[in-house]
Chain A
Amino acid sequence: MTRARWVIGSILAAASVVVLAVAGFSPIQGGSRDRIFAIPKGTWARRMAGDKVEILPDHIRLTLGVRDILVLRNQDDVPQIFGPTLMMPGQSFRLPFERAAEYTFACTAHASGQMTIVVEPNPTTPWARVRWRLVEFLSTFR
């Protein structure tokens, strides 16, 4: 191994340790605790035209103390079954979660007929914070 490669390797290793340390030891803070899903205006018309419009995933992940409030908004012009409930045009539904658990709701909008919300505990250990940040990071690409 040349000296240059050794130096680059050392720098990368040190940077990885720093990133892991920051990800593990810095507390997870977010602005809003809301996880928002909205039915945009015109969705009903698009569905009537044959478009397959998926707005609400059948699995939603929430984290206590970080993002633990599910907010549904119907911005369309007609009533919509959205998640577990019927919502009028312009209405919002704000559902807080206080316990880590898996919640299953009947939801006619999904092919499976149900929607699952997984509420995870607040990540308090360094490894749990690293894992939480990694999952959040990866979910941005989905």
Chain B
Amino acid sequence: MRRSTARWAMALLALALVTSAGAAGSGPLALKAGLFEPPRQAPDFGLLDSNGGELKISHYRGKVVLLAFGFTSCTAVCPTTLNTFAVARRKLAAAAADVQVIYITVDPQRDDSKRLKKYLGGFDPTFVGGTGTQEQLAAVRKDYGVSAEKQVLGDSYTYEHSSFTYLIDRSGRIRALMPYGHSPDDYVHDLTLLLQE
């Protein structure tokens, strides 16, 4: 009787350990970025990429995507963000092969494919840019909750635009949003976790 009780106790203990281990493993990721729960599928789009081909987010399933919006004449936010991505990719070394940066312009008037390619190449030649018509880009921004407001400055203009970055996992789900200003190390931390999934 006593032996049978002890066996039951051992079995229950083992079950509890297995259950708790599983629970810990399936918990939310401890990211530096803001985490979405539940994650939603990243809306797909059809834009022109900086190599002259079609840009669809679904082409990058299997990779972790950093998706940002901006424009090549931006002097404040975009150079910092893109440089942060470039440094993070270098730090990731071989693992960076599974990380794709996509940068979609909010300024199609100036940012054609060639200009995007040249601009992004200055940071990292693997970065891909996206452009299209005003209407196409406005529709993409609406799907992703991105704002961009044109501001005229004399003969020229600039844009006030959302400065965050979406982190999209290998399954094409929007997992997190990284606010502007985070360090390359924060990106390395989060990308490493997402790449391990």
Q: Interface of A with B (CB < 8 Å)?
A: 70, 81, 84-88, 90-96, 98, 103, 105-106, 108
Interface of B is mostly: loop
CB-based contact B162/A106 at 8 Å: yes
- B40 at the A interface (CB under 8 A): yes
Which single residue of chain B is at the shortest CB-CB distance from A90?
A: B38
- B144 at the A interface (CB under 8 A): yes
Q: Interface of B with A (CB < 8 Å)?
A: 28, 31-38, 40, 144-145, 147, 160, 162-164, 177, 179, 181
Task: Give min CB distance, B141 to chain A, whole Å.
Answer: 10
Q: What chain A residues lie within 8 Å of B177 (beta carbons)? A: 84-85, 93, 95
CB-based contact B147/A88 at 8 Å: no
> B179 touches which one: A87, A92, A103 (CB < 8 A)?
A103
Q: What chain B residues lie within 8 Å of A84 (beta carbons)? A: 34, 162, 164, 177, 179
Task: Give min CB distance, B105 to chain A, whole Å.
Answer: 18
Give Cα distance in the complex from A86 to B181, angstroms: 20
Task: Give min CB distance, A83 to chain B, whole Å.
Answer: 9
The answer to whether residues A105 and B36 also contact, given A84-B162, A86-B144 and a CB cut-off of 8 A, is no
CB-based contact B145/A93 at 8 Å: no
Give Cα distance in the complex from A95 to B186, angstroms: 13
CB-based contact B32/A94 at 8 Å: no
Q: Please indicate which of the listed interface residues B40, B144, B145 has the most CB atoms of chain A within 10 Å of its own CB.
A: B145
Give Cα distance in the complex from A106 to B160, angstroms: 9
Give Cα distance in the complex from A93 to B160, angstroms: 24
CB-based contact B32/A85 at 8 Å: no
Task: Give min CB distance, B165 to chain A, whole Å.
Answer: 11
> B36 touches which one: A92, A98, A103, A106 (CB < 8 A)?
A92
The answer to whether residues A98 and B34 also contact, given A84-B162, A106-B162 and a CB cut-off of 8 A, is no
The 8 lowest CB-CB distance pairs between A and B, nearest first, are: A86-B145, A95-B34, A94-B35, A92-B37, A88-B40, A93-B34, A85-B177, A106-B147
